[in-house]
């Protein structure tokens, strides 16, 4: 329109010839479908049709049109652009708040679940420590952790409920007040713009109106077309054809399944008011009351402004000189109405939360409820007394057992008395067989197993619970905690197997079991035919293993339940190779279960064996459908093995390269989702994987992806490498880890991005054609992004072809 008027002025000044040519050219430009039914478009078309006829008379009014009409039209264009920007920003703001609340609800739900798990674990640990009857310090520490975890859970519970309430109210207000108000405001300002346009066109028509009779009829038709423009009806057809559907409601409700595994006092949809939350509840009430008072003051101010502007609008006469002032006042009224309505929505949300808190506080009574019932002393006094009786009885029983065992073995020792030194009576009365001790200890079956240390001739050393096979020394140190703790293991020195007794006694001590010339076993005392007899002798007698060390055997440390027997694992075929050894498909007896077995090479240094066992120790505590399942560790003899579930699909990298073209985009997305779920679980356990890649993921049934290979993992929130970066996978490692050796879960997020890239590229190598140094250089200089875009485009093209 502006261009047309400018050319119109020019044509007026260049006489009617140029103006006629312009009208012919303009007539060829038909309006688009979006203007069909527009009264503005129809009026403008009438103007164009009559322009050529009246062109010769435009010269006298051309200067007025150029100085007045065009200025008004330019202002209108700028104003409409500003209105569009305001609408977009407001629309984005109110929807952005909904998105923020939705994300906050998801995050709060995750935190809530984590707090419930932590509280349950702390409770279990506390009850376990209490039941074991250990020292007061450990019980108090477990109790303190339990209380802290429960306090945090209750806080998370309240935050979750309040956030749900806020999100629910805001979503309702968005649909019923905020968005309709914004649309109503947008329609109002657009209608006002139509009124402005009408004023501009009326001015233009006035400047081009001719009083001569030949042109009065044509001018009359133009005026009639313009007067038919009605701002109330202008957008009726447009809105009817292009209107959008109302946004669907979002159901924010309390997820009662969150409390399925919780047995405390929290209740769905109710604020918890107890000794842990009473202060925070009162603080929240004070805070909400202040917010309500402030928002009510804002509403009152908006009401006052609204009344004043409405009075001003009614007093302004709608004359050409005062029309713009009236329009500004009207627009201000509409803006104040929207702000007032939004403030009322906020007031309603605050009052709703305040009502929840005040109602919960009013039901509390005079005494603050307790959040936890920690009075376990009363219920456990009987059990403690019975344990005390067991300990009292063991002293007597052990003496009787030792006496019977000596009676059984005394004659063989006496036959060789002439050839060996004479031993004291105490040194002979300390070992018992299971047959002799059973007659005296039938009433002691409830004792702990180590309180009934016996020799069973039908059980080999490898089958004894306190024999740990070829367990490395570092693992032994981890197991032996208290003075008197001991275990027996096997080691290899100079290609010779040796049996070692490891004891915790003012530090960790390791004694090699000596073998006599006639094939018996001893330390500094008498020799015995089997290692079991020697260990039972030392245990019951209570004498030091050696006079120099002073170490006394008190508590045997049994194998953990996941320590398997090497003979129960039958290796079937080799299916891969790892950093420490080969990987096999195997059968686990007696269940004949198909499993995957990682082996550790016998000739590896002890430091590497420690890292190998560390992977099993980390993996055994995780249970998630997207984490490879741990079954056990075999350390009875060489080679050391880690037993895991057998995942039939094998390596994700190989699977993508072989079966990738057959996978649909949805299946690829599901693989990314599986990997993300597994990594999120590891993050919740404070585990940093450090080596996430397609080669270290496995594909199970239905193409489920499982995270594997925890050889580089660390159970820490932050881990700093201090032994160099030789084994670091450069192309999968985050820049901060490469530059500073600092690992967090955020580094795993970077690796996950590379993994997702591998999945969608069907197993292609990242930074293809580049060395590690070149790829790292691109990352550090920031040139990698453009390279990745080009590479991703090529891969997508190849997939499409």
Q: In this predicted model, what pLDDT tens digit does every residue of 260-281 receive, in sequence order? A: 887 788 888 888 888 888 888 8
Confidence (pLDDT) at 317: 52
Q: How confident is the model at residue 149 (pLDDT cuts 50, 70, 90)?
A: very high
Query: Which of 14-18, 189-193, 393-397 has maximum average pLDDT?
Result: 189-193
Question: What residues have CB less than 8 Å from 26, skipping those under 6 apart?
Answer: 4, 48
Strand bridging mode 514-515 / 521-522: antiparallel
User: In whole angstroms, what is the distance from residue 633 CA to residue 564 CA?
Assistant: 6
Q: What is the pLDDT of residues 666-679, one digit of tens each?
A: 999 999 999 999 99
Which is nearest to 280 in space by CA: 290, 267, 271, 291? 271
User: Which range among 61-65, 126-130, 543-547, 564-568 shows the weakest confidence by mean pLDDT?
Assistant: 61-65
- CATH 1.10.287 assigned to 271-365: yes
The reply, when asked if residue 598 is annotated as ligand binding, is yes
State the number of CA atoms in the 13 A half-sphere of 344 facing the CB: 15
Greater confidence, 248 or 133? 248
User: In whole angstroms, what is the distance from residue 307 CA to residue 330 CA?
Assistant: 12
* CATH C-level class of 652-800: mainly alpha
Q: Is 493 helix (H, G, I), strand (E, B) or coil?
A: strand
User: In whole angstroms, what is the distance from residue 702 CA to residue 674 CA?
Assistant: 12
User: In whole angstroms, what is the distance from residue 8 CA to residue 432 CA?
Assistant: 121
Mean pLDDT, to the nearest integer, of 758-776?
86
Q: Which of 691, 709, 723, 748 is labelled catalytic?
A: 691
Token pair, residue 299, equals: 């509403």
User: In whole angstroms, what is the distance from residue 724 CA to residue 708 CA?
Assistant: 24
The reply, when asked if residue 700 is annotated as ligand binding, is no
Confidence (pLDDT) at 752: 93
The reply, when asked if residue 577 is annotated as ligand binding, is yes
Greater confidence, 646 or 722? 646
User: In whole angstroms, what is the distance from residue 787 CA to residue 774 CA?
Assistant: 12
Domain made up of 563-645: CATH architecture: 2-Layer Sandwich (3.30)
Q: Is pLDDT at 439 greater than 80 in this prediction?
A: no
pTM, two decimals, is 0.39
Q: Is pLDDT at 783 greater than 70 in this prediction?
A: no
Q: Is pLDDT at 147 greater than 50 in this prediction?
A: yes
Sorted by where each begins, the domain ranges of the chain are 1-227+253-266, 271-365, 384-556, 563-645, 652-800
User: In whole angstroms, what is the distance from residue 238 CA to residue 495 CA?
Assistant: 92
Greater confidence, 134 or 338? 338
Angle at 254 between CA 249 and CA 260, to 5 degrees: 140
Q: Is pLDDT at 797 greater than 50 in this prediction?
A: no
User: In whole angstroms, what is the distance from residue 396 CA to residue 386 CA?
Assistant: 16
The reply, when asked if residue 241 is annotated as ligand binding, is no
The reply, when asked if residue 47 is annotated as ligand binding, is no
Tell me, yes or no, if 195 is annotated catalytic.
no
Q: Is pLDDT at 426 greater than 70 in this prediction?
A: no
Query: Which of 29-33, 297-301, 629-633, 793-797 has maximum average pLDDT?
Result: 297-301
C-beta separation of 741 from 721 below 8 A: yes
Confidence (pLDDT) at 12: 73
User: Which range among 182-191, 327-336, 366-375 shows the weakest confidence by mean pLDDT?
Assistant: 366-375
The reply, when asked if residue 576 is annotated as ligand binding, is yes
Mean pLDDT, to the nearest integer, of 180-193?
90
The reply, when asked if residue 370 is annotated as ligand binding, is no
The reply, when asked if residue 519 is annotated as ligand binding, is no
Domain made up of 384-556: CATH architecture: 2-Layer Sandwich (3.30)
Q: What is the pLDDT of residues 236-245, one digit of tens each?
A: 777 777 788 8
> Which pairs with CB-CB distance under 8 Å and at least 24 residues apart come from 416-419?
none
User: In whole angstroms, what is the distance from residue 424 CA to residue 27 CA?
Assistant: 128
Mean pLDDT, to the nearest integer, of 727-736?
83
Q: What's the fold here for domain 1-227+253-266?
A: Substrate Binding Domain Of Dnak; Chain:A; Domain 2 (1.20.1270)
Q: Is pLDDT at 680 greater than 60 in this prediction?
A: yes
């Amino acid at each position: 329109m502006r261009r047309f008027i400018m050319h119109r002025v020019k044509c007026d000044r260049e006489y009617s010839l140029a103006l006629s040519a312009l009208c012919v050219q303009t007539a060829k430009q038909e309006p688009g479908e979006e203007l069909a039914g527009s009264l503005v478009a129809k009026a403008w078309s009438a103007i164009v049709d009559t322009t050529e006829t009246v062109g010769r008379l435009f010269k006298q009014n051309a200067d007025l049109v150029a100085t007045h009409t065009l200025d008004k039209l330019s202002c209108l264009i700028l104003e409409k652009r500003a209105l569009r920007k305001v609408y977009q920003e407001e629309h984005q703001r109110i929807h952005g708040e909904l998105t923020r609340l939705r994300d906050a609800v998801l995050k709060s739900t995750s935190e809530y679940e984590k707090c419930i798990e932590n509280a349950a674990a702390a409770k279990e640990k506390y009850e376990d420590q209490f039941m074991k009857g250990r020292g007061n310090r450990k019980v108090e520490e477990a109790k303190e952790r339990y209380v802290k975890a429960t306090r945090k859970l209750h806080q998370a519970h309240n935050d979750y409920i309040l956030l749900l309430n806020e999100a629910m109210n805001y979503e309702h207000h968005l649909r019923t007040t905020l968005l309709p108000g914004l649309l109503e405001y947008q329609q109002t300002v657009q209608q006002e713009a139509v009124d402005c346009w009408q004023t501009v066109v009326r001015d233009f028509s006035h400047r081009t109106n001719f009083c001569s009779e030949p042109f009065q009829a044509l001018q009359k038709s133009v005026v009639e077309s313009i007067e038919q423009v009605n701002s109330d009806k202008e957008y009726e057809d447009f809105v009817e054809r292009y209107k959008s559907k109302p946004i669907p409601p979002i159901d924010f409700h309390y997820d009662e399944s969150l409390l399925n595994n919780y047995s405390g006092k929290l209740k769905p949809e109710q604020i918890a008011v107890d000794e842990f939350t009473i202060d925070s509840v009162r603080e929240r009430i004070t805070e909400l009351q202040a917010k309500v008072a402030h928002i009510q003051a804002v509403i009152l101010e908006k009401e006052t402004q609204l009344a004043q502007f409405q009075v001003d609008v009614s007093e302004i006469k709608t004359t050409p000189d005062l029309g713009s002032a009236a329009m500004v006042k009207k627009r201000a009224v509409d803006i104040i109405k929207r702000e007032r309505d939004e403030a009322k929505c906020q007031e309603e949300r605050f009052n709703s939360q305040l009502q929840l808190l005040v109602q919960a506080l009013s039901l509390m009574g005079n005494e603050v409820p307790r959040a936890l019932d920690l009075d376990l002393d009363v219920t456990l006094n009987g059990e403690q007394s019975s344990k005390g009786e067991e300990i009292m009885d063991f002293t007597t029983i052990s003496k009787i057992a030792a006496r019977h065992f000596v009676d059984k073995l005394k004659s063989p020792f006496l036959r060789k008395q002439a050839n060996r030194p004479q031993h004291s009576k105490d040194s002979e009365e300390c070992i018992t067989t299971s047959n002799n001790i059973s007659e005296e200890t039938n009433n002691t079956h409830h004792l702990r197993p180590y309180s009934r240390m016996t020799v069973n001739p039908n059980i080999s050393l490898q089958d004894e619970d306190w024999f740990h096979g070829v367990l490395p020394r570092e693992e032994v140190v981890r197991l032996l905690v208290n003075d008197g703790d001991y275990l027996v293991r096997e080691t290899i020195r100079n290609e010779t197997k040796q049996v070692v007794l490891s004891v915790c006694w003012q530090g960790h001590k390791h004694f090699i079991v000596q073998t006599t010339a006639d094939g018996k076993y001893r330390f500094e005392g008498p020799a015995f035919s089997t290692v079991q007899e020697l260990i039972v002798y030392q245990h019951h007698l209570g004498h030091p293993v050696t006079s120099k060390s002073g170490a006394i055997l008190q508590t045997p440390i049994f194998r953990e339940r996941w320590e398997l027997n090497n003979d129960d694992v039958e290796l079937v075929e080799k299916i891969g190779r790892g950093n420490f050894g080969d990987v096999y498909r195997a059968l686990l007896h007696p269940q004949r279960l198909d499993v995957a077995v990682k082996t550790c090479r016998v000739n590896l240094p002890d430091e590497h064996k420690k890292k190998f066992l560390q992977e099993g120790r980390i993996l055994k505590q995780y249970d998630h459908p997207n984490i490879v399942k741990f079954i056990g560790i075999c350390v009875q003899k060489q080679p050391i093995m880690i037993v895991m579930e057998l995942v039939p699909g094998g390596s994700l990298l190989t699977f993508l390269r072989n079966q990738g073209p057959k996978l649909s985009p949805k299946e690829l997305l599901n693989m990314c989702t599986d990997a993300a779920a597994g990594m999120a679980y590891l993050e919740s356990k404070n585990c940093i994987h450090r080596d996430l890649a397609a080669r270290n993921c496995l594909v199970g049934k239905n193409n489920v992806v499982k995270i594997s290979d925890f050889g580089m993992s660390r159970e820490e929130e932050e881990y700093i490498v201090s032994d160099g970066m030789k084994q670091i996978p450069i192309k999968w490692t985050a820049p901060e880890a490469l530059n500073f050796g600092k690992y967090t879960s955020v580094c795993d997020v970077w690796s996950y991005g590379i993994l997702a890239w591998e999945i969608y590229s069907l197993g292609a190598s990242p930074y293809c054609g580049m060395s590690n140094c070149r790829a790292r250089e691109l990352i550090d200089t920031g040139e990698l992004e453009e390279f990745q875009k080009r590479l991703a485009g090529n891969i997508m093209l190849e997939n499409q072809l």
